[in-house]
Structure 1
Amino acid sequence: MTERFIYDVPVRWSDMDAYGHVNNARFLTLYEEARVAMFFVGARAHGLGSFEEGIVIARHEIDYVRPIDFGDPVRIEMWVSELRAAAFTVSYELFDDGVLASRAKSVCVPYNLVKGHPRRLSDAEREFLAPYVEDRS
Structure 2
Amino acid sequence: MSPLPEVPAAAGVYPITVRWSDMDAYRHVNNVQYLRLFEEARVYAFKDWFGADRDLIDEGLLVVSQAIDYLVPMEFAYAPARVAIWCSGTGAASFDLGYAVAGPEGDDTVYARGRVTLVAYDLLEQRPRRLGEAEREVLGTVRGEPPALRGDRSAAGSRGHR
TM-score with structure 1 length normalisation?
0.90
Matches within 5 A, 1:7-86: 7-39=14-46, 41-45=47-51, 47-71=53-77, 72-86=79-93
Of the three residues 114, 118, 133, the one matched with 1:108 is: 118
User: Are the aligned partners of 1:83 and 1:133 in contact in 2 as well (CA < 8 Å)?
Assistant: no
User: Are the aligned partners of 1:43 and 1:49 in contact in 2 as well (CA < 8 Å)?
Assistant: no
Question: How much does 1:95 deviate?
Answer: 0.7
User: Which consecutive aligned stretches of 4+ in structure 1 deviate over 4 angstroms post-superposition?
Assistant: none
| Unmatched 5+ stretches in structure 1 | none
Instruction: Indicate the SS of the match to 1:130.
Output: helix
Question: How much does 1:48 deviate?
Answer: 3.5
| Count, aligned residues | 135
CA distance in 1, matches of 2:29, 2:57: 29
Of the three residues 60, 76, 88, the one matched with 2:95 is: 88
Percent identity over the alignment is 38
User: Are the aligned partners of 2:82 and 2:101 in contact in 1 as well (CA < 8 Å)?
Assistant: yes
User: Are the aligned partners of 1:21 and 1:69 in contact in 2 as well (CA < 8 Å)?
Assistant: yes
**Map of 1:5 onto structure 2:** 12
Instruction: Note closer, same or farther for the CA distance 1:135–1:100 as it changes in structure 2 (3 Å cut).
Output: closer
Q: CA RMSD in A?
A: 1.8
User: Are the aligned partners of 2:95 and 2:119 in contact in 1 as well (CA < 8 Å)?
Assistant: yes
Q: Which has the higher strand share?
A: 1
**Map of 2:152 onto structure 1:** none
| Unmatched 5+ stretches in structure 2 | 1-7, 147-162
1:134 partner amino acid: G
1:60 partner amino acid: Q
Instruction: Indicate the SS of the match to 1:28.
Output: helix
